[in-house]
């Protein structure tokens, strides 16, 4: 018999070596399990530092709040950790910004405001707040800091808008700070966004433009100058009055002295006269003559003496010159005086 001519040979079916397939599968399963376990482990613990609290949500619902330390949770996103800084004072700057190097940048639009007496001022505020309720902070609003910032701005303008410009610029700052603090705290409680206000401080307050600042300074200068002028007048008073008092006293003292002196003159004169009179009274005629000649002897040494020898009926005046009795001692001879026409 003739055949087709091809002979195909099929190799016998062979079973794969016993044991090799069995060996791979457990290894793979072990590997997967190990991987899953590792993943589970890494997502099932967390740490909280002491400035924070952690809010734990299970399937989105708040179930726990934990403090500082290491904690465990369910892995794979069943439980999630939301950490919140609760023990830290946060700050808000209004009207200015502090940049990285510590310098101030002015934000005029935030700081310009109207006062209760229709004046305009620039006031910068420094605000401190902190998280009071981490759950509310996380979930009650979608931007609690922004809400707080806007609330503060509105209450600041409420208070400053009811204050006089002089109070804002000088002595009313404490009061403004307190009022803003009270209003914001009260409203913050109503808002309930998990934040609480710690402090409000006025950083700086001044008039709006350079010219206005100059005008305010000019008032202070005028005030001081006015004080100086008044003080000068008081100094004048303090100098002049005592001086005049002294003059007046001196004048009176002097007058007393003069009065006394006049009286003493009189007393002296009277005493002298009394003495002379006593003597005179004893021998009046002799005393008279004596005194007379004493006087004459005092006078004559320096005097020229003429004797009028013309009689009563004489038409011609004749004068006899005499030398001084005392000095020359010789009586002068009578001589004709010159005719007087």
Partner 1 sequence: MSTKKVIIGVVAAVLVLAALVAGMSAMFTVREDQYACTVRFSQIIDTTDQAGLHWKVPFLDSVRYFSKAVQLYDIPPSEVTTLDKQNMTVDCYVLWQISDPLRFYQTLGTTAVAEQRLDAQTYTAMKNLMSTLAQADIINMEDGAKRNEIYDRIATTVNEQAQTYGINVLDVKIKQFDLPESNLNAVYSRMISERNQMAEKYTADGNYEASLIRNSVDKQVNILISNAEAEAAKLEAEGEAEYMRLLAEAYDTQDKKDFYEFTLALDALKSSLTGDQKTVILDRDSALAKLLMGE
In angstroms, the CA 226 to CA 217 distance is 14
- Which residues 276-305 are close enough to bind partner 1 by CB under 8 A? 276-277, 280-281, 284, 288, 291-292, 295-296, 298-299, 302-305
Selected from 67, 199, 256, 336, the binder of partner 1 by CB under 8 A is 256
Residue with tokens 């402090």: 199
Near partner 1 by CB under 8 A: residue from 39, 306, 328, 336 = 306
Residues within window 5-64 making contact with partner 1, judged by CB under 8 A: 57-62
**Which range of residues in 4-12, 31-39, 95-103, 308-316 is near partner 1 by CB under 8 A?**
308-316
Q: Which is nearer to partner 1, 36 or 266 (CB)?
A: 266
Q: Which is nearer to partner 1, 47 or 154 (CB)?
A: 154
Q: Are 80 and 74 in contact (CB under 8 A)?
A: no
Work out how close the CB of 274 gets to partner 1 at its nearest, in angstroms, rounded to a whole number. 7
Distance between CA atoms of residues 207 and 214, nearest Å: 9
Instruction: Tell me which of 179, 184, 197, 200 binds partner 1, using CB under 8 A.
Output: 179
The H or E element that residue 282 is part of is helix 210-282
Site string for partner 1, 66-105 (x = CB under 8 A): ----------------------------------------
- Residues in a beta bridge with 122: 112, 206
Question: How far apart, in whole angstroms, are the C-alpha atoms of residue 35 and residue 29?
Answer: 10
Task: Report the 10 Å Cβ neighbour count for 199.
Answer: 12
In angstroms, what is the minimal distance from the CB of 335 to partner 1?
A: 13
- The residues, any chain, with a CB within 8 Å of residue 330's CB and separated by 6 or more, are 323
249 binds partner 1 (CB under 8 A): yes
Question: How is 243-260 classified by DSSP, letter by letter?
Answer: HHHHHHHHHHHHHHHHHH
Residue entry with tokens 């209760």 = 116
By the 10 Å C-beta count (0-12 exposed, 13-18 middle, 19+ buried), 23 is classed as: exposed
Q: Judge contact between 157 and 113, C-beta under 8 A.
A: yes
Q: Which of residues 322-341 bind partner 1 (CB under 8 A)?
A: 322, 325, 331
| Contacts (CB under 8 A) with partner 1, residues 213-242 | 215-216, 218-219, 221-223, 225-230, 232-234, 236-237, 240-241
Determine which residue in the list 64, 87, 91, 269 makes contact with partner 1, applying CB under 8 A. Answer: 269
Interface with partner 1 by CB under 8 A: which range of 1-9, 33-41, 122-130, 243-251?
243-251
Toward partner 1, which CB reaches closer, 98 or 237? Answer: 237
Give the interface size with partner 1 as a residue count (CB under 8 A). 115
Q: Which of residues 111-150 bind partner 1 (CB under 8 A)?
A: 112-114, 116-120, 135, 138-143, 146-147, 150
Measured from the CB atom, the residue of 49 and 192 that comes closer to partner 1 is 192
Rounded-to-integer distance, Cα 268 and Cα 271, Å: 5
Structure tokens at 136: 């509310």
The dihedral over CA atoms of 238, 241, 247, 252, expressed in degrees to the nearest 10, equals -140
* Least Cβ distance, residue 127 to partner 1 (angstroms): 14
CA angle centred on 223, ends 217 and 224, rounded to 5°: 95
CB of 191 to partner 1, least distance (A): 7
Stretch that binds partner 1, among 65-73, 83-91, 97-105, 160-168 (CB under 8 A): 160-168
Helix (H) / strand (E) containing 92: strand 90-94
- The tally of CA atoms less than 13 A away on the side-chain side of residue 61 is 2
């Amino acid at each position: 018999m003739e055949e087709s001519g091809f002979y195909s040979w099929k190799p016998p079916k062979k079973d794969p070596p016993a044991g090799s397939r069995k060996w791979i599968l457990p290894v793979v399963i072990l590997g997967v399990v190990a991987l899953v376990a590792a993943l589970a482990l890494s997502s099932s613990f967390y740490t909280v530092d002491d400035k924070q609290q952690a809010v734990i949500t299970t399937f989105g619902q708040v179930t726990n709040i934990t403090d500082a330390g290491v904690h465990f949770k369910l892995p794979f996103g069943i439980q999630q950790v939301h950490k919140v800084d609760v023990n830290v004072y946060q700050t808000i700057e209004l009207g200015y910004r502090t940049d990285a190097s510590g310098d101030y940048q002015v934000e005029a639009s935030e700081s310009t405001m109207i006062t209760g007496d229709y004046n305009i001022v620039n006031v910068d505020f420094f605000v401190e707040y902190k998280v009071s309720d981490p759950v509310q902070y996380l979930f009650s609003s979608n931007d609690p800091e922004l809400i707080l910032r806007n609330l503060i701005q509105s209450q600041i303008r409420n208070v400053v808008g009811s204050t006089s410009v002089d109070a804002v610029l000088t002595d009313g700052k404490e009061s403004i700070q307190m009022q803003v603090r009270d209003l914001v705290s009260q409203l913050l409680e109503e808002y309930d966004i998990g934040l609480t206000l710690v402090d409000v401080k006025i950083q700086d307050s001044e008039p709006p433009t350079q010219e206005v600042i100059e005008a305010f300074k000019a008032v202070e200068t005028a005030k001081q100058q006015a004080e100086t002028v008044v003080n000068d007048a008081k100094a004048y008073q303090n100098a002049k009055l005592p001086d005049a008092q002294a003059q007046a006293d001196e004048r009176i003292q002097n007058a007393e002295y003069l009065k006394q002196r006049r009286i003493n003159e009189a007393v002296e004169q009277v005493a002298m006269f009394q003495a002379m009179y006593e003597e005179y009274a004893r021998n009046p005629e002799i005393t008279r003559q004596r005194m007379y000649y004493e006087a004459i002897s005092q006078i004559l040494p320096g005097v020229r003496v003429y004797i009028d020898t013309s009689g009563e009926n004489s038409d011609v005046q004749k004068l006899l010159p005499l030398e001084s009795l005392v000095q020359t001692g010789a009586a002068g001879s009578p001589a004709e005086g010159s005719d007087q026409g």
